[in-house]
């Protein structure tokens, strides 16, 4: 059985990728106009809910063929398309994207998907590389991974020296060094420092 799937971004989307255009392409290809053979989602914004697609995935059986007017109608991105096509293959279902000429029952169709998978893996590799570079840059700039700048070590050391001298209140030390009172107390405890140079055992 030929099963057609359509997706548009909104009801007002122009006819280039709109419902009427996609439906006519599928009908011309041979998909019957019925509730069992045509599935249609309207996705607004970044919504990932696609009730018609989910319904179709439950309906299709081994030997069926899922048809879209073009590959971009099937998934939100390359990774999503590949995951869905792999799911179809596991069920013994062929996938066809008319515009791109993709047919997973042919050698060329399989080759195209192999290329798509390679590009998707490359894209993920670039994303991971950029994340690593971003973390490294954050460390060099003294920022935590969450993006909040770490307190300047020199200011913190100065605050600890003033704390040990006991000549200034913690509030005065904070104003002088721009280190918060809570950080002063916490660092003093971590370094086991108390006022007057005694060990902080609290």
Give the integer Cα–Cα distance in Å for 104 and 35: 24
Helix locations, 35-152, DSSP H: 51-59, 78-90, 107-140
Q: How many CB atoms lie within 10 A of CB 46?
A: 6
Give how far the C-alpha of residue 153 lies from the chain's centroid of Cα atoms, to the nearest Å: 35
Task: Tell me how many degrees the CA angle 71-90-126 measures, rounded to the nearest 5.
Answer: 55
Query: Catalytic annotation on 69?
Result: no
Q: Which active-site residues does the annotation give?
A: 9
């Amino acid at each position: 059985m030929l099963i057609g799937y359509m997706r548009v971004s909104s009801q007002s989307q122009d006819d280039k990728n709109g419902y009427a255009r996609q439906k006519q392409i599928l009908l011309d290809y041979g998909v019957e106009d019925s509730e069992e053979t045509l599935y249609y989602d309207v996705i607004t914004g970044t919504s990932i809910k696609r009730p018609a697609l989910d319904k179709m995935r439950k309906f299709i059986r081994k030997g069926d063929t899922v048809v879209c007017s073009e590959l971009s109608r099937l998934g939100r991105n390359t990774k999503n398309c590949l995951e869905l096509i792999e799911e179809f293959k596991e069920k013994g279902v062929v996938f066809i994207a008319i515009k791109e000429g993709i047919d997973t029952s042919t050698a060329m169709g399989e080759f195209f998907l192999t290329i798509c998978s390679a590009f998707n893996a490359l894209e993920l590799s670039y994303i991971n590389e950029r994340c690593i570079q971003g973390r490294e840059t954050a460390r060099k700039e003294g920022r935590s991974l969450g993006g909040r700048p770490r307190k300047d070590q020199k200011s913190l050391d100065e605050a600890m020296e003033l704390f040990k001298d006991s000549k200034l209140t913690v509030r005065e030390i904070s104003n002088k060094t721009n280190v918060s009172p809570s950080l002063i107390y916490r660092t003093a405890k971590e370094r086991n420092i108390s006022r007057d140079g005694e060990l902080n055992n609290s």
